[in-house]
Structure formats: structure tokens, C-alpha cells
């Protein structure tokens, strides 16, 4: 296992390099430059060109990329063009909010999807099974931004049960209830797509387990059906399901950008959207590499969990 983990970590290096090259090329191929977007349009062309030269945007893209890699290796992601702040400081300031949102959405997806998946499997081809399946397909097909806007209109505007956006009430003292009110809607919206997929995955896994010989033996011994399903079946049925949590990280990273923008959640996702509109290249590249690193680590965690939970698997 140790040698496998070391090999996977070494394999991460060329993957991250490839992602950085593609992201860098696409970003700089987009029209517009940050110096032009952030400067007064009435400023003289000489001053504008001086600003572009100072940022190094006139250099060939390969030269800019090599310079950026050299700084990153030293732990320097640069300074934001728009906010004039170190990029690392900006990311670390918003990282706790994004991690809180992702952890909450994972928790919601697990406590809702797994029970529904088990119920759907144990009542195969029943109305309950068809209802859960239909709901899963609806969840997979519903766009996050549309669902978020609809929930804001219902629960925030019409009913007034939750705040419209933000992470906490401005000017109010810290309150756990207040934080939960701000968190519940964005966490639910972010968990929707993963919740639907996890429900289907749990159903498929449990359908394979309930037809195994040891389940029939447990029933033949006279054990209650609830004990047979949840003690003997669910324990083995969740082995492939748990590994899915590592693979859910990439979708949550992408979804958090939309959800945070809709709800005004001050996280990395919203920071990425703002930086994209402002052509803030250092911020865009830093967040892109953070997401790529988290994705690769998530895949590695999924592989490790599978081997740990299932002793039949060896690497």
C-alpha cells in the first residue's frame, strides 16, 4: 500500500503540470487583459502600455508560464491584479467557508441518499422504488443555479425563513443558529446532484448484496429483516459507496463556484468567478491548481478507502 501511494503521488506531478499548461494557455487566449479592464478608459495609451509591461503581459506566453512556475515552486502565487493582495492570503481567507460548505453538503448527501438508496433496493420495482428513482433523475437534471434561485424565492423572499445570502448576518454577534440559517440552502443545493447519484449508486450496490448467499443464510436463521439488511447487508454494500465520496470532490469544487455566486457565499468558488470577470490571472491559476490538486487527492483517497474497507483488494 505504501509503495502504491508513493507511486500515485509521483504520478500527480505530470498531471498537475499538464493541467497548469492547458489552463494557462486557455486563460491567456481569452480576449482582454487585466490592465485594460482595471484602468481608467480615459488614461493615455502610454500609461496603459507601461502598466501592461510592468505586469509582464507583453512577454510570450511560454515565458510567462515559466516565470509563473518558478514563483509557484517557491510558494509564491503572485499578487492579485484587482485587489493588490497576495493570492495565497486571499485563498486562505476564504478557504474555511468553502470547506464548511463542502463538508456540510457531503453530510447532507450521505444522511439523505444512503437511506433512500437502501429503501429503494429492498423494495425493488415498488412504487417507493419508482418514486426514489424519479426523484434521483430530477435531482441530476436540475441545474444548481436554477434550484438555488427558486429556493431563495420561496424560503427567503416569500416565507422569510432563511437569509438571502452571505455567511452570517452583518453586524450581529456570532450565533450558531444564524450560521446554520445561512448555510442550509447553499449546502442543500450543492448536495443535490451528488445526493441523486449517491442514491442510485447505493441502490445498485445493495441490490448485489441482498442476493448473496450469506444474506439468505441470515434470513434462514430467523433474524429480523431489519437486522439482516442494516447489520449484515449494509456493511458490505457501503464499501463501494464510501469510496464515491472521494470522487465527489471534483463535482463539488465545480458546483461550489455556481452555488457561492448565487447565494453570495464568500468562498473560493465566488472568488474564482469574480477573478474570471476581472481577468485576474494569478488568482485564477492559483484556484485552478488548488482544485486540480484536491481532485487528484480525492481520487487517491477513494483508492485507499476501497483497499482499507475491502481486505480482498490489494495494490
Distances (CA, A) of 30 to 33, 50, 59, 83, 277: 9, 21, 16, 21, 11
pLDDT (tens digit per residue) in 5-48: 788 778 888 888 888 888 888 887 777 666 555 555 666 677 77
Question: What's residue 37's pLDDT?
Answer: 54
C-alpha cell at 86: 497576495
Residue 182: closest CA among 221, 200, 144, 156:
156
pLDDT digits (tens, 9 = 90+) for 207-230: 888 878 888 887 888 878 788 887
- For residue 125, give the C-alpha cell: 420495482
Does residue 79 register a pLDDT over 70?
A: yes
Nine cell digits for residue 137? 433523475
Dist. CA 244–CA 242, nearest whole Å: 5
Nearest to 262, CA basis, from 212, 188, 199, 313: 188
**Which residue from 178, 196, 169 is spatially nearest to 108, judged by alpha carbons?**
196
pLDDT of 154 reads 92
What does the pLDDT look like over 282-300, one tens digit per residue?
898 898 888 888 878 877 7
pLDDT tens figures, 113-165:
888 988 888 888 889 989 998 988 888 888 888 999 999 999 988 988 888 88
| Model pLDDT, residue 152 | 92
- pTM score: 0.82
Cβ contact 190:267 at 8 Å:
no
- Polymer length in residues for the chain: 315
Q: Tens digits of per-residue pLDDT, 231-248?
A: 777 777 877 777 777 677
Reply yes or no on whether the pLDDT at 184 is more than 80: yes
Residue 188: the pLDDT is 92
pLDDT at 151: 92
**16/4 Cα distance (integer angstroms):** 19
**pLDDT-based confidence at 68, cuts 50/70/90?**
confident
Q: What is the pLDDT of residue 141?
A: 86
User: What is the rounded average pLDDT of the residues 263-275?
Assistant: 88
Amino acid at each position: 500500500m505504501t509503495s502504491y501511494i508513493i507511486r500515485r503521488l509521483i504520478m500527480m506531478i505530470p498531471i498537475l503540470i499538464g493541467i497548469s499548461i492547458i489552463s494557462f494557455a486557455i486563460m491567456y487566449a481569452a480576449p482582454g487583459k487585466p490592465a485594460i479592464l482595471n484602468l481608467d478608459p480615459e488614461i493615455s495609451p502610454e500609461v496603459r502600455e507601461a502598466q501592461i509591461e510592468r505586469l509582464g503581459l507583453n512577454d510570450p506566453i511560454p515565458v510567462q508560464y515559466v516565470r509563473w512556475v518558478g514563483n509557484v515552486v517557491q510558494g509564491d502565487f503572485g499578487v492579485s491584479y484587482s485587489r493588490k493582495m497576495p493570492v495565497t492570503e486571499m485563498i486562505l481567507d476564504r478557504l474555511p467557508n468553502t470547506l464548511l460548505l463542502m463538508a456540510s453538503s457531503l453530510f447532507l448527501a450521505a444522511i439523505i441518499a444512503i437511506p433512500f438508496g437502501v429503501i429503494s433496493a429492498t423494495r425493488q420495482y415498488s412504487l417507493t422504488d419508482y418514486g426514489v428513482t424519479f426523484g434521483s433523475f430530477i435531482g441530476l437534471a436540475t441545474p444548481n443555479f436554477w434550484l438555488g434561485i427558486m429556493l431563495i424565492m420561496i424560503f427567503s423572499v416569500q416565507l422569510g425563513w432563511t437569509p438571502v445570502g452571505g455567511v452570517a448576518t452583518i453586524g450581529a454577534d456570532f450565533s450558531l443558529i444564524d450560521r446554520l440559517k445561512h448555510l442550509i440552502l447553499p449546502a442543500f443545493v450543492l448536495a443535490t446532484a451528488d445526493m441523486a447519484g449517491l442514491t442510485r449508486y447505493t441502490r445498485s450496490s445493495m441490490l448485489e448484496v441482498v442476493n448473496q448467499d450469506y444474506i439468505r443464510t441470515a434470513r434462514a436463521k430467523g433474524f429480523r429483516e431489519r437486522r439482516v439488511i442494516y447489520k449484515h447487508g449494509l456493511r458490505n454494500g457501503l464499501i463501494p459507496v464510501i469510496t464515491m465520496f472521494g470522487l465527489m470532490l471534483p463535482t463539488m469544487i465545480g458546483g461550489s463556484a455556481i452555488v457561492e455566486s448565487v447565494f453570495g457565499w464568500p468562498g473560493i468558488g465566488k472568488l474564482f468567478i469574480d477573478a474570471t470577470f476581472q481577468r485576474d490571472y494569478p488568482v485564477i491559476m492559483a484556484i485552478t491548481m488548488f482544485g486540480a490538486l484536491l481532485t487528484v487527492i480525492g481520487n487517491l483517497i477513494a483508492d485507499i478507502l476501497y483497499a482499507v474497507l475491502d481486505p480482498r483488494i490489494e495494490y
